[in-house]
Amino acid sequence: MWLWVAIACELVGTSVLKAASSHPNVLNVGIVAVGYIASMVGLALALRAGMQVGIAYAVWSGVGTAAIAIIGAVFLGESANLWKFVFIGVIVIGVVGLNLVGE
């Protein structure tokens, strides 16, 4: 559960990062900072709960990367093409595979 909280917080921070870089104000920068700090705390709590560090980090970074690529394409006007989504699928397959063999 903590890992999913960490991923959600990282997604919020990274999603607002584009706005914070083009319009740096206290709210945008604060959301990015709180999102990243909360993400690290969530990741640490997932490790404390017994997750293996390699699996936790791979899932955190893989799901985060795939989700941000999708968020960027859908909401932030970033380029999207078939190959981008094919390789997002490869990331997802890797994360699922790690979870299946990680226990």
Cβ neighbours of 69 (radius 10 Å): 17
Residue bearing the bigger pLDDT, 77 or 31: 31
Closest CA to 62 of 94, 35, 87, 32: 94
Closest CA to 5 of 80, 47, 75: 47
Q: What pLDDT, on a 0 to 100 scale, did the predictor assign at position 102?
A: 66
Q: Model's pTM, two decimal places?
A: 0.86
Whether pLDDT at 69 is above 80: yes
Structure tokens at 103: 């226990």
- Domain count of the fold of the chain: 1
Q: What's the domain range around 45?
A: 2-101
Whether pLDDT at 103 is above 80: no
* Calpha distance 20→17 (Å, rounded): 5
Q: Tell me, what amino acid is at 16?
A: V
Q: What pLDDT, on a 0 to 100 scale, did the predictor assign at position 1?
A: 92
* Calpha distance 64→12 (Å, rounded): 10
